Amino acid sequence: MKDKKETKKNGVDIAPAKNGGGGFYSDVVKEHFFHPKNFMEDEAGYGADGQGMVGSPACGDVMRVWIKVDPQTERIKDLKWKTFGCASAIAATSMMSVMAVEGKGMTLDEARRLRPQDITERLNGLPLRKVHCSVLGDKALRAAINDYYRKTGQTDKIEIEAGRVIDKVLKITDKDIEEAVLDGADTLEKVQEKTKIGTGDPACIPEVEQLIRFYKEKYFG
């Protein structure tokens, strides 16, 4: 996975976006891409309290997150990650890892409420065509939190992702589609730009298109 990250440094992905929703990468994004924080170097020797993964190697987007938790305070005391992905995905996950452990560390409840918009804001924005790259880290973090609760016998605290899962690989729900439509995504292509839905599980695309039509009619007539 690390090889993928290093190869991307020498490619074009760090260049300014020129097509399909422009905008330059901020200095913060570049810093987290060229010098990613909390990248997992030794998975075998880490001793995680919880770990989570979303995505599929087959579709090219994989996010893995490992956490260590203070059992007394249930604060995240350390977080590591690995990903196959572009500059934006790497930078967004790196920033997420910083946000989770800065100060005394987020409580598990606080970490569960972390959303891509929060990460993007701390990065001083992403090019529009790359905003979707920030959506996997928070899902993998929530999966790691669920794994921690499972391992510690606190199964009553496990939370299933809100909504009905439509893309079973990337764990994208009907709620994610609804929010994308409300945010102006009125075509399959625009919804995919925001969520990546269907890139992990192409078989779900007909249902996605049906949901887009439903939410457009529901909210916009």
Question: What is the predicted pLDDT for the residue at 57?
Answer: 59
The segment with the largest mean pLDDT, out of 76-80, 113-117, 178-182, is 76-80
Indicate which residue of 1, 59, 128, 205 is catalytic: 59
Q: DSSP assignment of 160-210, as one string?
A: PPSS-EEETTTTEEHHHHHHHHHTT--SHHHHHHHH-TTTS-GGGHHHHHH
Cα–Cα distance for residue pair 10/210, rounded to 1 Å: 40
Mean pLDDT taken over the chain: 83
Question: What is the predicted pLDDT for the residue at 200?
Answer: 82
Structural domains in the chain plus CATH codes: 2-159 (3.90.1010.10), 162-221 (1.10.10.1100)
Query: Which of the 8 DSSP states describes residue 23?
Result: B
Question: What is the predicted pLDDT for the residue at 164?
Answer: 82
Query: Which of the 8 DSSP states describes residue 128?
Result: G
Indicate which residue of 87, 95, 133, 197 is catalytic: 133
Closest residue by Cα to residue 85 from 59, 121, 50: 59
- As a whole number of Å, the CA-based R_g of the chain is 17
With cut-offs at 50, 70 and 90, classify the pLDDT of residue 58: low
Specify whether 204 is catalytic. no
**51 DSSP β-pair partners:** 66
Q: What does the pLDDT look like over 105-141, one tens digit per residue? A: 999 999 999 988 889 889 988 776 666 666 688 889 9
Closest residue by Cα to residue 50 from 22, 78, 73: 78
Specify whether 59 is catalytic. yes
